[in-house]
Amino acid sequence: MKKVKVGIIGLGRSGNNIHAAALLKMTEKFQIVAVADKQFADRAAELKKKTGCATYTDVNDLINDKNVEYVVNATPSFLHKELTIKALEAGKFVTVEKPIAGNVKDADEMIAAAKKLGKNFSVFQNYRWEAEVGKLKNIMDSGKIGEVYMIRKHSGMYQRRDDWQAMKKFGGGTTNNTLVHAIDQSLFMTGFDVKRTASLAMKLVTSGDAEDFCKILIVGNKISIDLEITAASAYSFPRWVIFGKYGTIMSEDAGNDIAIKIKYLDPSKLRTLTRAEDIKPASDGTYPKDVIEWKEETIPPFANDWGKVSHVLYHEAAYEWMVNNGPVPVKPEETRMILDIIERSKKENGF
């Protein structure tokens, strides 16, 4: 089996704890041959001890390393464009962290550069591979709840961040660092149908100047998607609520697990409705009503792995792309659409 030789740029939380950790579980398919970081010499040394990889403080040395086939760009958002284009120009396969770039203009330049070079790259929207999303999408696609017309997603905790993701100048903010996952997941489940958006964002409890609360409403052709994330919530709420014409799906936290339940009806068993021809009220003075035989199902609770499995599944898909000519795991054009939604929200709300 071919081993893809990987170079990781950036050994922060994403580069070290997510990408390196996942790739070290996949040694039959990947070999970390180089890492580059100016700040975390200790992490670079640890990876060298584990893998024998080269360690660089200058990212250009990694990009120009002929031993590297696949570059993982795990740098802050404002560095995504420059380093991704350089890696593409050096002939590498590239995965860049989400969001695709610091702004839509940069994303467009990245996509244009890839097309000019006759190459492509992928964006690390790994949460598409989460078990929860797969189960929800399977239920939606089964038709059990009928045509889906509304989706709600809530993410909330009480968390006062004081790292770079609380600062605007570094591309911080909860919208593009966390809510980006929910935007991607919801559009992935519904076919990237976007007609217009509206949003509200605020800074509440973090130390920086970036937002830590955001609500985004996405309106598609026949669907409403209501997404919210907050760093100032004392209570927890359902994770996902998906409304169909004939039923509803709800996903909730269950300790360290996730539980999904479904309530739906068989439309063939509903009474035939007549159309009112006058304003005469019902003879008994009540509202019209149906006797509905509701069906309820639950999916046994499953582990919330906090992305650990989806990290691996993403790189499995990347391996298929690079070695077996499979599809690009996450198309840049899709994540450009997501970034456009985020950028408009930030502009609307002064962030």
Assigned CATH for 4-124: 3.40.50.720
pLDDT of residue 171: 79
CATH 3.40.50.720 segments of the chain: 4-124
What are the backbone angles phi and psi of residue 65, rounded to the nearest 5°?
-70, 115
DSSP string, 229-272: EESB-SS---SEEEEETTEEEEEEEETTEEEEEEEE--GGGSPP
**Burial grade of 188 (CB within 10 A; 0-12, 13-18, 19 or more):** middle
State the number of CA atoms in the 13 A half-sphere of 215 facing the CB: 4
Q: Which amino acid is located at 68 in the chain?
A: V
Whether the CB-CB separation of 322 and 93 falls below 8 Å is answered with yes
Q: Which residues contact 34 (CB under 8 A, 6 or more apart)?
A: 6, 7, 8, 53, 54, 55, 56, 62, 65, 67, 68
pLDDT per residue of the chain (351 residues) written in tens, 0 to 9 = 899 999 999 999 999 999 999 999 999 999 999 999 999 999 999 999 999 999 999 999 999 999 999 999 999 989 999 999 999 999 999 999 999 998 999 999 999 999 999 999 999 999 999 999 999 999 999 999 999 999 999 999 999 998 888 998 887 889 988 899 999 999 999 999 999 999 999 999 999 999 999 999 999 999 999 999 999 999 989 999 999 999 999 999 998 899 999 999 999 998 888 777 777 776 666 777 788 899 999 999 998 877 679 999 999 999 999 999 999 999 999 999 999 999 999 999 999
314: Cα separation from own chain's centroid:
11
DSSP string, 63-83: HT-TT--EEEE-S-GGGHHHH
Query: Angle CA(316)–CA(34)–CA(321) in degrees, nearest 5?
Result: 25
Q: How far is CA 83 from CA 8, 27, 108, in A?
A: 12, 25, 15
44 vs 54: CA distance, rounded Å: 9
CATH 3.30.360.10 segments of the chain: 128-305+337-348
Assigned CATH for 128-305+337-348: 3.30.360.10
Q: How far is CA 320 from CA 125, 213, 299, 310, 315, in A?
A: 16, 37, 30, 15, 9
pLDDT of residue 136: 98
Cα maximum dimension of the chain: 84
pLDDT of residue 290: 80
pLDDT of residue 280: 72
Whether the CB-CB separation of 56 and 62 falls below 8 Å is answered with yes
pLDDT of residue 272: 85
pLDDT of residue 285: 64
